[in-house]
Amino acid sequence: MRLPLVSIFAVSLLTAACDGENSVQISSTTRETQPRGVLKVVETLQCPETIGVLTRKGSAHDGGTTCLYSGPRGAVVSVQLVRLGVRSPDEVLEQLRDTLSADMPHTSAGLKAATDPTVATGSAAATADVAGSQAEGSGTGATVSDGATAATTGLTVDARGDKAVVRLPGMSVDADGDKASVRFGSFTINADNASETVNIQSQDETVRIQAHDDAAEVHTRAPGDAIRTTYMLTDSRPAEAGWRLVGYEARGPVGGPVVIATVHAKDRNSDAVFDAAKELVTLNVGE
């Protein structure tokens, strides 16, 4: 699955964070570089016999509103045409997320516990270690010892005990013990060692990633009124049914109907399966 650049960066952080007992929660955004096309209003699904690594199982069901595909290593993809009726897109997708999470109950429970301050314990996932015995501005000639303040061209540093404040043009860092806040451009990053969370926020397209141990949950949602969203839940430890990855790709005009490809895979490294599911959605409703 091809996520926006920011989410790829975030997933790279997760690879390190999931090694051992660490956990991390990330929310981020990125701007659209190209305008999206208008999504089509679909009456019946197009379900080719094969697409990517997927092979259709039988013909389209329910009058062209459902198609079932099989993939490598027992992967299953179901494509549905969902009419909203009185329901909002958020209600439909929230219900679907609950259903998918129930297929991997130990994973969803573990991630929920990791972000519950009354339950979560363990070592830190992310911390900003800018305070301490020395803060140096690389290439600036500024060196600040603990309890001192210094300034040079475009850079100021104030380090006192376990607190530090760093200012650069377009960027600031504030650290206080287990907490740190970094701001650069339109992005804000807040890290809390005690709750083992990191949040990255801006405007436009939203990416939210939460990880704990060897499991991760990813949400993406494009800006605008149209529905363009992705959800993925993964774990190295299989659920009782053998699933290591569940998720969906959903797309449709603001009033629906919505084309949703739901993915179940027993291999968490199932990019080809998710890519094929996304192709099915694109084929039906557009980019």
Closest residue by Cα to residue 192 from 202, 204, 179: 179
Tokens of 247: 């998720």
Cα 186 from Cα 206, distance rounded (Å): 13
Q: Which residue has the higher pLDDT, 260 or 13?
A: 260
The arithmetic mean of pLDDT across residues 14-37, rounded, is 50
**pLDDT tens digit sequence for 69-116:** 999 999 999 999 999 988 899 999 999 999 999 999 999 998 888 766
**pLDDT tens digit sequence for 162-183:** 888 887 766 788 888 888 887 7
Checking if the pLDDT of 186 tops 80, the result is no
Q: What is the pLDDT of residue 141?
A: 46
Ordered DSSP codes for 200-266: EE-SSEEEEEEEETTEEEEEEE-SSSSEEEEEEEEESS--TT--SEEEEEEEE-TT--EEEEEEEES
Cα 110 from Cα 10, distance rounded (Å): 20
The C-alpha angle 176, 178, 182, rounded to 5 degrees, equals: 60
Cα 133 from Cα 136, distance rounded (Å): 10
Helical spans, DSSP H, in 26-140? 89-102, 105-114
